[in-house]
Structure 1
Amino acid sequence: MNEQSPITPQILSVAKIETSNASRYLQQLCKHFAHKRPVSFDPNSGSISFTVGTCRLEASNDLLTISLESADDEQMVQLQDVVVRHLVRFAFREELHIDWQASTASDEN
């Protein structure tokens, strides 16, 4: 009998945040989490691995795009919470509008 391992569904959530400080915030988030989490980044892109999922960041002139991936809705809520709390702390000089757009991995195919 050929038994397949169960596939963990992936939950995806993306926020596109307008800010002239996109690269600055990307680097601040990555440097902050690098003390405890696996992180890789440069001024234009970054990746942070959390126990509940992965955060990928991309910065352009006026846009910070944050893409989150987790195994389930509960972990996604935790991931969104930790990323937003830290981002808002770093961006205290401006009011950011963060609107998460959710999908599943199958929506991306």
Structure 2
Amino acid sequence: MPRSEARVVTDRPHRYAKQLASHLGRKVETSWDEETGLGAVTFGRGTATLTAEPGVLLLAVEGEAEHLDQLEDVVGRHLVRFGVKDELVAEWHRDNGLPGTVQRNLSEDEPSAG
């Protein structure tokens, strides 16, 4: 299955991964292991993994090619919303070498993408 990954630089990767898993867990199946710093999200059209490492939260999504944009957006959008004060950015890179989507919080005077 096609895969996309994002490296989100943050001083609080465990906190954000746990918050993301908890929030998404209201609608889909999730897991989070505080000891290992590993989490998983199971969507109807793919999966996501969350890996907290020192100074970075590693995100990965897998699914059919036509759903990668949506998977990247759901995971990235929620994460950057939680991390607005830390100005988190999720920039996705596909395993086929193509760039994926980018999620960031835009200031009010900055035009939105799309």
* Structure with bigger gyration radius: 1
Aligned residue in 2 for 1:107: none
Percent sequence identity is 36
TM-score when normalising by structure 1: 0.81
Deviations along 1:16-38, one digit per CA (max 9) or x if unpaired, are 11101100010001001111211
Deviations along 1:42-78, one digit per CA (max 9) or x if unpaired, are 1211000011210001001201000110112x20000
SS of the counterpart of 2:28? coil
Shift of 1:91: 0.3
Q: Does 1:68 align with 2:26?
A: no
Aligned residue in 2 for 1:82: 74
TM-score when normalising by structure 2: 0.77
Equivalence map 1:17-96=2 (5 Å):
17-43=8-34, 44-72=37-65, 74-96=66-88
Displaced runs of 4+ in structure 1, greater than 2 A? none
CA contact 1:52–1:76 (8 Å) conserved in 2: no
| Number of equivalences | 94
Higher strand share: 2
Which has the higher relative contact order, 1 or 2, with Cα contacts under 8 A spaced 6 or more apart?
1
**Runs (5+) with no aligned partner, structure 2:** 97-114
